[in-house]
A = this chain, B = another copy of it.
């Protein structure tokens, strides 16, 4: 989970995830969405995402296609849910107090 949460902390990587969310995208296609950044920079972000288990890669001839791998967020989701549950508990207590 550590890796996933660290990976997701970067806004560029989150943007990449939003892009591959809707289907496979090639590395170049993704880099094209970040004109302010060099192509290798995007490539490095992709590496981080793959190693964190948040995206899958597959080779297609010349290119590499990246796709979202949502299971990678399972532990992160668990943490957030665990924190979030406090909301529900507090709400419940407030209701019972009435």
Contact = CB atoms under 8 A, between A and B. Distances in A.
* Interface bracket on A: 20 to 34
State the main secondary structure of chain A at its contact with B.
helix
Given A5-B5, A9-B6, A14 B79 contact: yes
Interface in A13-35: 14, 17-18, 21
A69 B20 CA distance: 31
Contact of A83 (B9, B73, B86): B73
Contacts of A9: 5-6, 8-9
A82 interface: yes
Given A70-B87, A71-B87, A87-B70, A82 B5 contact: no
Contact of A77 (B11, B18, B80): B80
Contacts of A14: 5, 79
A76 interface: yes
Contacts of A18: 82
